Amino acid sequence: MNILHTSDWHLGQNFMFRERKKEHGHFLDWLLATIETRAIDLLIVSGDIFDTATPPNYALSMYYRFLSRASATCCRKIVITGGNHDSVACLNAPREILETMDIHVVGGITGDPEEEIITVRDGSGQTSAIVCAVPFLRDRDIRRSLPGESYEEKNKALAQGIKAHYEEIAAKALEGWDRSRPVPIIATGHLFAAGGEVKEGEHIRDIHVGSLDKFNVAQIPVAFDYVALGHLHRAQTAGGLDHVRYSGSPIPLSFSEAGSKKQVLSITFAQGNETMEIQSLEVPEFQRLRAVKGDLDSVLETLGTLKSEAGDPGADFPTTWVEISVDSETWQPDTEERINLSVEGSTLEIFAIKRLKKLAILCGEEMDSTTELAHFTPEEVFERRLAAEGEMAPDVKEELTLAFREITAMIDQENQELP
């Protein structure tokens, strides 16, 4: 049984006013070729297929074209689950048609766990795997809000709701299971696991209303042989468990991921579920992104090196997109001019030039950051606003923070549900 796990495509992303259409197209072509060359039986996409709840028409066309082509390959089953960026209605709209092509979409939970359990069969019609296709679990889906709850009580109820949902799905999957003929049981998920490493652009406040805490994946039932997670853009294991993995995004989604290796995961089960091999398959770098940080002299030196490594002007992706952060202590009036002159005539394209400086927090702590508001998350701006108030009772600060998180998360969810 050969499985391919990928997630966080973010089709339709507008990256600093630039479409990523060409990169995504190359990735999907590469993915189709990989399915064929590795004789993949099952493809799993663990959420965030789109970057927004209202994806542009070209992103929808790209998605459906890929599914049509993939259904004509050796792949017997495709399982797609919704992420926090996806619209449940948008993903689910064509699912009855897609099921005729052995493509199963679970945009969100419905209250019927049977709809999240998908059986994969081999050429002889025998069960070769069971997939518990768990999508992004929204707060309102898994817990009941009670008046007067504290922040800790809400977090605890949320974690219990996630745990209970996985337990219910695992129990349903094991009903009537022929233990004399073991098959792998695979679960999906779109969440932030404890210990996960995040990057700029991974907005943890999007995970659940009022919760920035992480879910302990050790609470996921041991019945699952492999857990295919989405949401974090960096490929990694979760909770120290080798069989619980994030595939990461297939292309870098921010400059904090510039130069990082991207991948999909190949999982091979032999003798039913007796042996499992997990292999990382590196995704080619279709568009070079580089982040350069330091004093002006080191920035100019690094740009010189990048120029010598620049791509072929006749290639599909001839340019290298560069974000520059210059230490404010070396900032000079002609800094931007010198940087722009240094890349003239090259295939380096400067996306942004930031000035770094020390921001003094009222408590006396200093941190490196940028002077532009756009470079902070809403939560960071709110925290600085609280700090500016001076002395504040801990319970008042907690209540204000909780209220802020609930408001921003509700706005996010409303935006995702817009038609």
* CATH number of the domain enclosing 326: 3.30.160.720
Look at residue 324 in the predicted model and tell me its pLDDT: 94
Q: Can you tell me the distance from the alpha carbon of 111 to that of 371, in angstroms, rounded to the nearest whole number? A: 47
Look at residue 197 in the predicted model and tell me its pLDDT: 62
Residues 413 and 379 in one domain: yes
Query: 53 phi and psi, to 5 degrees?
Result: -70, -15
* Bridge partners (DSSP) listed for residue 293: 325
Which one of 252, 283, 314 terminates a domain? 283
Beta strands in 144-284 (DSSP E): 185-190, 226-230, 236-238, 241-246, 262-270, 275-283
Give the position of tokens 């042989």: 225
Q: How many domains does the chain have?
A: 2
Q: Can you tell me the distance from the alpha carbon of 47 to that of 405, in angstroms, rounded to the nearest whole number? A: 23
Look at residue 212 in the predicted model and tell me its pLDDT: 38
Look at residue 205 in the predicted model and tell me its pLDDT: 40
Look at residue 359 in the predicted model and tell me its pLDDT: 46
Cα-Cα-Cα-Cα dihedral sign, residues 57, 83, 67, 27: positive
Residues 164 and 245 in one domain: yes
Residues 324 and 357 in one domain: yes
Residues 125 and 272 in one domain: yes
Residues 177 and 148 in one domain: yes
Residues 134 and 240 in one domain: yes
Beta carbons within 8 Å of 230's beta carbon, 6+ residues apart: 7, 8, 45, 46, 47, 48, 81, 83, 188, 189, 190, 246, 247
Look at residue 360 in the predicted model and tell me its pLDDT: 42
Residues 274 and 296 in one domain: no
Low-confidence ranges of the chain (pLDDT < 70): 145-146, 149, 151, 176, 179-180, 195-214, 310-315, 330, 357-377, 380, 390, 395, 409-410, 412-419
> 178-195 pLDDT, tens per residue?
766 789 999 999 998 875
Nearest C-alpha neighbor of 122 from the set 98, 102, 95: 102
Residues 54 and 194 in one domain: yes
Which one of 236, 255, 283 terminates a domain? 283
Residues 276 and 298 in one domain: no
Residues 55 and 184 in one domain: yes
Residues 188 and 263 in one domain: yes
Look at residue 47 in the predicted model and tell me its pLDDT: 96
Q: Can you tell me the distance from the alpha carbon of 264 to that of 245, in angstroms, rounded to the nearest whole number? A: 11
Residues 108 and 139 in one domain: yes
The dihedral formed by the CA atoms of 256, 260, 264 and 265, expressed in degrees to the nearest 10: -110
Q: Can you tell me the distance from the alpha carbon of 12 to that of 52, in angstroms, rounded to the nearest whole number? A: 7
CATH of the domain at 224: 3.60.21.10
Look at residue 358 in the predicted model and tell me its pLDDT: 52
Look at residue 304 in the predicted model and tell me its pLDDT: 92
Give the position of tokens 């940028």: 370
* Domain span including residue 398: 289-417
